[in-house]
Amino acid sequence: MRSDIELLRIIAAFGIVWFHSGYAYGRDLAYAGLVVFLILSTYFSTKSLRTHSLGERALRLIVPCILWSALYGAINFMRNEPIFPSNYSLFSKILVTPSIHLWYLPFVFFCIIFIDKVKQYIDSKTLAIFTAIVASTLLLISPQWRQWEYVVPLGQYIHALPAILIGMLLALSQQLSSSMKYLLIGLVFLSAIYIFWVQIAGVSVTYLVGISGTLLLLKDKSILPKNNVIIELSRLTFGIFLVHPLIIFVLRHIGFNSILLPVLSFIASAICIYTVFKVTPKPILKYVV
């Protein structure tokens, strides 16, 4: 495991906690954490030479989604609130679950299943060109789709799709010539610079920062020496993602509303998940975090 990539994962998790805390300053920057998470997920899935079964993918993403959905639904029920927001359609209830942040899990599941299949039938060069063109196009037309009204979670899906494609591109680029690799990645990066220049809320800073951070994946070796603390904390990031809305709710109820809210929420979430790792039997742990 590379310490620089794992540190990037930790920073991305903190960004997501920051965004969901509702703290006003730097929200677009914080949301870049989601872009990083998406890019890393599809990068490693595309790069993997191991064939994962549908069941293995489901155990990692769908089972935790179901378990945590039940938890958040139960919490809503105990608070005398609707289990699902009243404006949700059946479609939204199935894909978003009782907590909006969990939309990520079924979305990534279906994207990874698609990647597993498509890379068996399309050569790397063709697939890389396709991902670069579509990702760049989606970024360039973001002023149009950003204004659309969506059925939840279609808005999240459209916003996330360029990151999915960029993760695939970064993995596939390792099988291309240097000139082709930098041409395709440069095309995407210039598209990100353009939307940064035209200032599209929720896209400009988010994607430019997210893409810039994940360019570390192009390096063959880590820019940081091996650090066991970073690696251990990185193991907690998936669990931090799952539990942090609950922690934010508790801390906000106590009275934290300043910059301390995202900071303490991240720390408390990490401690909570670390405790789960210590007390949960390993055969069960993989279904939880």
> Does residue 101 register a pLDDT over 80?
yes
pLDDT at 25: 87
For residue 199, pLDDT beyond 90: no
Who wins on pLDDT, 154 or 208?
A: 208
Structure-token match 């978003």, residue found: 96
Residue 45 has pLDDT above 80, yes or no: yes
| Residue 148 in this model has a pLDDT that exceeds 90 | no
Average of per-residue pLDDT across 13-26: 92
Region 80-88: mean pLDDT is 86
Q: Please state, in angstroms and rounded to a whole number, the distance separating the CA atoms of residues 4 and 233.
A: 13
Position 258 scores a pLDDT of 86
Give 36's pLDDT tier (boundaries 50, 70, 90): very high
pLDDT given for residue 263 in this prediction: 95
At a CB cut-off of 8 Å and minimum separation 6, what does 181 contact? 173, 174
* pLDDT above 80 for 185: yes
Q: Are 139 and 160 in contact (CB under 8 A)?
A: no
Average pLDDT over residues 159-176: 96
∠ CA 239-50-57, nearest 5°, is 40
Rounded CA gap, 38 and 108, in Å?
Answer: 8
Q: Is the pLDDT of residue 129 over 80?
A: yes
Q: Residues near 7 by Cβ (< 8 Å), separated by ≥ 6?
A: 224, 227, 230, 234
For the segment 233-237, the average pLDDT, to the nearest whole number, is 96
What was the pLDDT predicted at 282?
Answer: 80
**What residue type is 92 in one-letter code?**
S
For the stretch 256-276, pLDDT in tens is: 888 899 999 999 999 999 999
107 vs 160: CA distance, rounded Å: 9
Query: Residue 224 CB: number of other CB atoms within 10 A?
Result: 14
Is the pLDDT confidence value at 132 over 90? yes
**What is the residue type of 126?**
T
Amino acid of residue 180: M
Mean pLDDT of 90-105: 88
| Residue 24 pLDDT greater than 80, yes or no | no
Query: 3-state class of 174 per DSSP?
Result: helix
Q: Is the confidence at residue 283, as pLDDT, over 80?
A: no
Cβ–Cβ under 8 Å, residues 143 and 198: yes
What is the predicted pLDDT for the residue at 240?
Answer: 97
User: Which segments of the chain does DSSP mark as H helices, in order?
Assistant: 3-21, 27-30, 32-47, 54-78, 90-96, 104-121, 124-140, 142-145, 154-172, 178-198, 204-214, 228-234, 237-254, 260-279, 282-285
Residue 95: band (very low, low, confident or very high) from pLDDT cuts 50, 70, 90: confident
User: What HEC string does 91-108 produce?
Assistant: HHHHHHCCCHHHHHHHHH
Span 161-183, average pLDDT? 95
